[in-house]
Amino acid sequence: MKFTIQVSEGPYTHQASDTAYQFTKAALEKGHEIFRVFFYHDGVNNATRLTTPPQDDRNVIKRWSELAAKYNLDMVVCVAAAQRRGIADADESRRNGKDADNLAPGFRISGLGQLIEGAIQSDRLVVFGD
């Protein structure tokens, strides 16, 4: 079955990002297809590579990046939500006249249409948030 996953909560907030990750991993390991993971609202905070959790804690961001690399996941960050929260890739940073970028590996910045397309193209849209 084909899934799109929506993540609307940041890391280390409550539990939505963790649940979304565990669900996505379980679905992939069962042989299902993840069409896209869309990070929306505070969920865009899952995409900053500057996160530095304590060594004995899970690294939520790195975990998503590694899952994306292993399964070639399409992980999309909402551009409007990202701009508000200071999440930028090199292009976005330059375009907005900023002095740095912080998008973690495996993520890409795009628009809300990507969520709608995911909902249309997939059999299921599973929403995780707060």
Specify the stretch interacting with another protein by CB under 8 A; choose among 26-34, 59-67, 80-88, 105-113.
26-34
In the block, residue with structure tokens 């390991």: 29
By CB under 8 A, is residue 124 in contact with another protein? yes
Catalytic residue from among 78, 82, 88, 125: 78
- What residues contact residue 65 under an 8 Å CB cut-off, 6+ apart? 49, 104, 105, 106, 107
Instruction: Give the count of residues interacting with another protein (CB under 8 A).
Output: 21
Cα gap 101→90, rounded to integer Å: 5
Please say whether the beta carbons of 69 and 106 come within 8 A. yes
The 54-93 site mask, x for binding another protein (CB under 8 A), equals ----------------------------------------
> CA quadruple 120, 4, 6, 79: dihedral positive or negative?
negative
Cα gap 8→44, rounded to integer Å: 8
By CB under 8 A, is residue 2 in contact with another protein? no
Query: Quick one: 82 or 125, whose CB is closer to another protein?
Result: 125
By CB under 8 A, is residue 26 in contact with another protein? yes
Active site residue 78: yes
Cα gap 105→74, rounded to integer Å: 11
Question: Binding residues for another protein, per CB under 8 A?
Answer: 1, 3, 8, 14-16, 19, 22-23, 25-27, 30, 32, 124-130
Catalytic amino acids? 78
